[in-house]
Amino acid sequence: MPNPTILVFLDGPDATSASAQLTEVRPAVLELLTLGRALGRVDVLTMAAPSVPVLATLGAYGVQNVHQAQLPMSVPPLARRVTPILAAVFADAVRRIDADVLLVPSSYAGREAAAVAAARLGAGFVADASGLTWTGDGERPLRAAKRVLGGTWDTVSTIASDPAIVTVRANAITSKPAATATHPDVWPVPIEVAPPLVTVASRTVKDRDHGRPRPQEAATVVVGGRGVNGDFGPVADLADALGGAVGATRDAAFEGWFDSYIGQTGIVVSPRLYIGAGVSGAPHHAVGMSSSQVIVAVNNDADAPLIEMADLAVIGDLADILPQAAATIYAHKTKPGG
């Protein structure tokens, strides 16, 4: 099979304006670039112009070309992220570049737009894959590994169509720069958007906490549940000690203790390490974190459902256990060679 073209979508917080620049490459995208290199030649699709540091990072990961979507002037800046527009970008870019595979970071917006684009292209679509390989000795069709049914089954799906569109969950791949760096060129890709155009009445952007990674992409997530009784201090301290993100359950968010939650109707996370403090492990929450690689439960209720899911359970008062754990981690870091 000729060297296939793997197109990776590079989104960013600044991609809502035609004049904005992309100033970072998120860890989830670096993972997709690493995965893409194992499948073929890697190109990148962007909604905004990449900065010089971003181009350097893409080159370090072996990217050959950067394709910047050129949307019609009639598309308002606030509408650049909505599903019909993003799906049009995916579908047109795949057609014009003749990409064999489109890889998209797994998020609500990414999954929805990728599914719509797949329907328009007649492409096979798999959401939240954990790995991709060509069948046999580098030959089609593409095979996608995925964990389903609350993390109880590992499946492999065959994508017989060409092209294939796949969203890949964060932390499924260990990112690694290419053995030989490249110098990617930037090319414009005209995008056609069929009327009627989307009208966005308003959009509010929440300021990102630059001190911590996003829970959806973090390798470590420390989550507080109803058992924290409104005090997320120990949860945040442990997350900072581990260089991880802070999350919450739906109950904790509904109590007003945190502004977002992990669960079936909230954020979905798949960290390498999940620590649930005072988290009961209700089905709604389990759906949002069951693909975590290692699960640690800290709870004073030995019969909590999360205890059954956990690889390690610590039974006791989280107000005592979490500060001790954070102090021990900080002490280890300050030791010579720590």
Which pLDDT tens digits describe the chain residue by residue (338 residues)? 578 999 999 987 555 555 678 888 988 999 999 999 999 999 999 998 999 999 999 999 999 999 999 988 888 777 788 888 999 999 999 999 999 999 999 888 889 999 999 999 999 999 999 999 998 766 778 999 988 776 678 899 999 888 999 999 888 889 999 999 999 999 999 998 876 666 777 766 666 565 788 898 899 999 999 999 999 999 999 999 999 999 999 999 999 999 899 998 888 898 999 999 999 999 999 988 988 989 999 999 999 999 999 999 999 999 999 999 999 999 988 877 65
Note the Cα 233 to chain centre separation in Å.
Answer: 26
Q: Which residues 6+ apart lie within 8 Å of 75 measured at CB?
A: 85, 193, 197
Cα-only R_g, the chain: 21
Q: What is the DSSP code string of 291-316?
A: T-SEEEEEES-TT-HHHHH-SEEEES
Q: How far is CA 210 from CA 52, 116, 215, 245, in A?
A: 21, 32, 12, 11
3-class DSSP state of 84: helix
Q: Residue 244 gets which letter from DSSP?
A: -
Q: How do beta strands 65-70 and 185-190 pair?
A: parallel
Q: In what order do the strands lie in the sheet with 245-248?
A: 245-248, 220-224, 273-277, 294-299, 312-315
What is the structure's pLDDT at 20? 72
- Residue 53, both tokens: 């540091």
The DSSP bridge partners found for residue 41 are 5
What is the structure's pLDDT at 18? 56
3-class DSSP state of 87: helix
3-class DSSP state of 69: strand
Query: What residue spans of the chain are helical by DSSP H?
Result: 27-39, 52-60, 83-97, 108-121, 233-242, 250-254, 283-289, 305-309, 318-334
Element spanning 45, H or E? strand 41-46
299 and 313 in contact (C-beta within 8 Å)? yes
Residue 305 φ/ψ, nearest 5 degrees: -55, -30
What is the structure's pLDDT at 232? 95
3-class DSSP state of 322: helix
